[in-house]
Each structure stands twice: as C-alpha cells, then as structure tokens.
C-alpha cells in the first residue's frame, strides 16, 4: 500500500536520450526520510560522488515534494530542489512555494529526477502521461517572466512553470530557478545546473490527487494547526508586512546587518516592513492553500515597471542594507532585476557588498568599477547585476561567488 500523501513514484528524465521512466519509491524509504530534502538526500545518495562535477551531464537535479504537498494541508505547497551545488561543490538544497509545487504533485508523480544534458535549449512539459520535450531555442535569452508567460501561451490551460533566466544560461554559480513569477528556489546555484543541461524550464499540469490514509483524522489536525496559526504573533507579523516585517524586530535585537556585516546601526524606519506596506503593497499573493498570504504584489510604477513581486527580508538585507542602500525604490528595482535575470537575491547581495568591501580595502581597482564604488552607490550596483548575469567585465569574476572571488 502506498504511504498516504505520496503517489509512490518519481519521473526519471534522461535529457541525453530524450526518454523517461517511472521509478518507484519504496514505502520504507518514505517512512525513513519523510519527503522533501530528506527523501531527496536518500534518492541522490548514490549519484553524488566526491568527484562529480555539478556542471556535467552526469550531475542529477531533483524536483521533489513532501507528504503534504498537493493535499488540503495549509502551508504545504512547497518543493525541494536538490543536487550538487556548483557554488560550493557540496550537497545543495533549496525550496520554493507558489502553485508549481501543488501541481507538480498533481501530475501523479512525487518528483522529477533529471539526468543527462541536451544539445539545444529545451523545456519539459510534464503531465499525468509523462514528459514531452519541447524546443526552447526561441526562449533562450528570455527573462524568467518572459519565459513563464511564453510557455503558458504556448501550452494553454492551467500550466505552472519553473524556469531559469539569462544568469542560469550563462552559468552564474548562484543563479536560481524561479516559478510562479517571484517564487524562487534561490540557493545553491541550480539555475546554472539547468543552464548547463540547456534545460530552460519545467512546466507541469495535472489533476491527480495523492491518496490520503485517514482523511477525517487529517482534517482534525488541520483545524488544530489553523487555530495555532491564528494565535502565533510571528505569523501575524509576516501576514501583515511579509517577511520584511522582521527587519524592525531584528534591528531591536541587533540581528539585522548593514554595510557588509560591519554594523547593525542604520535608518531602520526607511526600510521597515511597515514603510514598505504603507507605500507599495496593493494585494496579497498567497501560495496555493495558504491562509497567511505573506507574498505581496507591489506597485512600483517606475522605469516602465508597474508591478513587482514580494520584497522579503532577504531582499531588503542582502542587496539593500549590506550594500548601504536605504531607498526602497532602489531596493525594489534591484530585487526585481535579480528575479528577471534569475539570480539568487541573497548571494547576489553578498557578492555585491563583498566587492564594495574589497574595493575600499584596495583589493579591486578603480577601473573594475569605472571609477570606483562605495556603499549606497545604487546606480553602479544595478549595472553590476546585469554584468554578473551576462558575465561581462568584472561581472565574470563576481559570477563565481564570494569564495572564488577571494581566491583570485
């Protein structure tokens, strides 16, 4: 009997051979490792050898759900993305929400294991009957938003897309995978893994619900969970202000860094979640089945950009405060550009702040930044994001990540 919450199988896709097969997940393995990143570690254990190059055809990439995903359990629309990180050369895992995880489970599979590589850009269309390999040559070079929109137009109906942008195509070591517009499996550089494989996107659709072992018992536990959610003060904070609400809380604890981790003193009121809400939020954008709605649609209305997706705690801190930027307009634009190019907002911000630090300490020259760079120089920081995504000039070095920059 299949464990409740699971279909008991994953789809294994071989890009090199352009074929796929259904692989059973043993009940004992599910019970031992539960799902998500735990089960991913078990499935990938034999693949991830010490000498495996993360940017090689042999490197696997696993999209995997957990036991609650695709069910009526609230806050459960998450998936794990796992493999060997091109940024660290070690085990890598990242997670994302939205609607893509819910419908990944609704394909009738618990996950998708991708191996091999392609000769030309391709995207996968995954449904209950398996995989269709579709040409993505016309999408190569597209932003993440353009890619998602184009695939939805091509396929039609309810299809949900996870994709890479130009940063992943150019193998930036901290490029990421985005889905449902602003949701990102941001960490560990899996955008570069997809870019190496010439896999532009994975699109999913379906309506096959996972089995539930004891539905009445589950409903009882859901009622208890929803009551706990209502009483939790931190959840009230992020429901009201998004995770950006933690900026002011962290400031009070001395837990919110600025100026490349050299200070915790800054004009907090300018970048607080409350200021963000009062000036920019227009509506909630919750993940599938989520009663909290920490995702927010932001009215920007500048530089030809009308709306952008949630600017959370990490976006305010990493490319914002760490770089000495306290203008919400500038932070929102930087955040949006990272989404457009498919860059991990955290690693990008840290790399940018590190480059400012290195310049001020004399390790990088004026010519690298067309006359130098300093904290708060949002114009040059914005130009660096494009250079990183396209690996142009100093961007080619910065695309390698903090450790490799330091080893230069």
Give me the CATH number covering residue 184.
3.60.9.10
309 and 394: one domain?
A: yes
Flag whether 2 is in a domain: no
* 56 found inside a domain: yes
Cβ-contact 89, 230 below 8 angstroms: no
Q: Are 172 and 399 in contact (CB under 8 A)?
A: yes
Residue 304: is its pLDDT beyond 90? Answer: no
In terms of domains, do 184 and 238 share one? Answer: no
> Is residue 200 domain-shared with residue 265, that is, in the same domain?
no
Give the residue among 279, 246, 252, 278 at the shortest CA–CA distance from 264. 252
Closest by CA position to 387, among listed 337, 322, 312: 337
Q: Which domain holds residue 335?
A: 232-406
- Quote the number of domains for the chain: 2
| pLDDT on residue 1 | 61
Establish if 364 belongs to a structural domain: yes
In terms of Cβ atoms closer than 10 Å to its own Cβ (0-12, 13-18, 19+), residue 275 is middle
Q: Which tens digit of pLDDT belongs to each residue from 305-363?
A: 889 998 999 999 999 999 999 999 999 999 999 999 999 999 999 999 999 999 999 99
Phi-psi category of residue 175: left, alpha or beta, with phi > 0 → left and psi -120 to 50 → alpha = beta
> Which of the four pLDDT bands, split at 50, 70 and 90, describes residue 181?
confident
Spatial separation of the C-alpha atoms in residues 339 and 181, rounded to whole Å: 8
Shared-domain flag, residues 167 and 262: no
**pTM, 2 dp:** 0.97
- Going by C-alpha positions, the residue among 311, 289, 291, 308 that lies closest to residue 299 is 308
Same-domain status, 246 and 384: yes
User: In the chain, what percentage of residues exceed pLDDT 90?
Assistant: 96
Indicate the burial class of 393 (C-beta count within 10 angstroms; 0-12, 13-18, 19 or more): middle
Is the pLDDT confidence value at 179 over 80?
yes
* pLDDT tens figures, 103-144: 999 999 999 999 999 999 999 999 999 999 999 999 999 999
Task: Compute the distance between CA of residue 375 and CA of residue 388 in angstroms, rounded to an integer.
Answer: 18
Q: What angle do CA 176, 315, 178 make, to 5 degrees?
A: 25
What confidence score (pLDDT) does residue 175 get? 99
User: CA 323 → CA 223, 308, 403, distances in Å?
Assistant: 44, 21, 18
> Do 162 and 34 reside in the same domain of the chain?
yes
Taking residues 295-311, what's their average pLDDT?
89
Q: What is the pLDDT of residues 227-278, one digit of tens each?
A: 999 999 999 999 999 999 999 999 999 999 999 999 999 999 999 999 999 9
Residue 292 is part of a domain; what is its CATH number? Answer: 1.10.569.10
Are 75 and 192 in the same domain?
yes
Q: Is 214 inside a domain boundary?
A: no
**CA-to-CA distance for 69 and 288, rounded, in angstroms?**
10
């Amino acid at each position: 009997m299949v464990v409740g919450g699971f279909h008991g199988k994953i789809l294994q896709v071989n890009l090199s051979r352009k074929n796929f097969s259904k692989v059973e997940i043993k009940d004992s393995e599910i019970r031992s490792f539960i799902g998500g990143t735990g089960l991913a570690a078990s499935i990938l254990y034999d693949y991830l050898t010490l000498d495996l190059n993360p940017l090689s055809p042999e490197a696997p990439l696993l999209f995997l759900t957990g036991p609650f995903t695709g069910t009526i359990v609230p806050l459960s629309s998450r998936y794990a993305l796992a493999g060997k990180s091109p940024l660290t050369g070690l085990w890598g895992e990242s997670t994302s929400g939205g609607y893509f995880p819910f419908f990944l489970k609704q394909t009738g599979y618990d996950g998708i294991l991708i191996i091999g590589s392609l000769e030309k850009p391709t995207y996968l269309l995954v449904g209950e009957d398996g995989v269709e390999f579709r040409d993505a040559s016309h999408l190569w070079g597209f932003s993440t938003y353009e890619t998602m929109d184009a695939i939805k137009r091509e396929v039609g109906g309810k299809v949900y897309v996870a994709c890479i942008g130009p940063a992943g195509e150019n193998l930036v070591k901290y490029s990421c995978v985005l889905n449902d517009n602003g949701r990102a499996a941001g960490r560990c550089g899996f955008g570069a893994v997809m870019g190496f494989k010439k896999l532009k996107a994975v699109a999913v659709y379906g309506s096959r619900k996972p089995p539930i072992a004891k539905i009445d018992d589950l409903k009882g536990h859901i009622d208890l969970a929803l009551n706990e959610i209502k009483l939790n003060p931190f959840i009230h904070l992020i429901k009201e202000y998004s995770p950006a609400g933690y900026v002011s809380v962290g400031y009070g604890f001395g837990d919110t860094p600025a100026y490349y981790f050299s200070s915790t003193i800054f004009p907090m009121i300018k970048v607080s979640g409350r200021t963000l809400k009062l000036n920019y939020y227009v509506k909630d954008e919750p993940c599938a089945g989520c009663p909290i709605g920490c995702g927010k649609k932001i009215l920007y209305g500048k530089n030809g950009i009308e709306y952008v997706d949630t600017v959370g705690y990490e976006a305010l801190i990493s490319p914002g405060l760490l770089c000495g930027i306290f203008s919400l307009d500038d932070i929102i634009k930087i955040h949006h550009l990272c989404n457009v190019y498919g860059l991990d907002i955290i690693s990008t911000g840290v790399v940018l702040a590190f480059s400012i630090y290195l310049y001020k300490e004399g390790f990088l020259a004026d010519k690298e930044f067309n006359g130098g760079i300093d904290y708060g120089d949002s114009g040059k920081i914005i130009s660096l994001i494009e250079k990183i995504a396209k690996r142009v000039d100093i961007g080619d070095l910065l695309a390698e990540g903090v450790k490799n920059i330091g080893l230069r």
